[in-house]
Amino acid sequence: MEQIFNVKGKSGFITGAGGGIGSFLAKELAKAGVNLALVDLDTQKVGPMAEELSGEFGVVTKAYACDVTDPESVKRMTERYSEDFPALDFAINNAGIANIEKAMDISYEDFKKVVDVNLNGVFLCAQAAARLMKGRGGSIVNMASMSAHIVNVPQTIANYCASKGGVKTLTKALAVEWAQENIRVNSVSPGYIATELVAGMKDYHPGWISRIPMGRLGKPEDLIGLFVYLLSDASAYMTGSDLIIDGGYTSL
């Protein structure tokens, strides 16, 4: 049991590692002995974090600046990764944004920006990761959302729902296409997790919690076990799955 769940010594990258779920995953995986490339739009946050994690846990950590919506930026990021790490065992495509605007009012530019980061960025990073994994296999984990399954209320985020629905289906398509390369592709669909972003939306909390069967918002700590499972050999036969972790919200 300990052996199949062991991730010590694995190497991979996390996009959107500068805050929220990404920064929490980075710390917990480093604690478990994982070597990491911390990827964000700039290195102001992930640079100090990489130094801190390396010093505290004795793992190899690097900080890379990358615009996940720019193919050339993604290419440069993975080229740097290949120079610094011997292999890519996993990729966590976590970078994402949200925009709470009504569908009738949102500009095309704002709608497109959300889709570009949340969906197109996931594709570009997954594609780049698969090219490094070809011939040896690996695990790609895409960040979807319960918003791929339901429509959030009362906030109006049609743009976000569309992008995350795309991630869920893209994940399945990539899993089928890359299975012959032993590249597993799965997605995680969290519910309301108490990150900095969600903590700042306190007016919504009572309405959200009233619809969650478990009666509370999720914590970043609630996600780590699922990610360890997906990166480890314990999930060797799982691909194309979307795993919801939302306190029961989508079960209603």
64, 81, 160, 249: the active-site residue:
160
Rounded to a whole number, what is the distance in angstroms from the first to the last CA of the chain? 34
Per the annotation, the verdict on 164 as an active-site residue is yes
Q: Are 38 and 46 in contact (CB under 8 A)?
A: yes
Per the annotation, the verdict on 160 as an active-site residue is yes
Q: How far apart are CA 2 and CA 45, in angstroms?
A: 33
Q: Copy the structure tokens of residue 220.
A: 């970043």
Residue 92: enclosing H or E segment and its boundaries? strand 90-93
Per the annotation, the verdict on 112 as an active-site residue is no
Q: At what angle do helices 158-178 and 121-133 cross, to 10 degrees?
A: 20
Q: Copy the structure tokens of residue 11.
A: 């190497």
23, 139, 145, 235: the active-site residue:
145
11, 164, 232, 249: the active-site residue:
164
Active site residues: 145, 160, 164
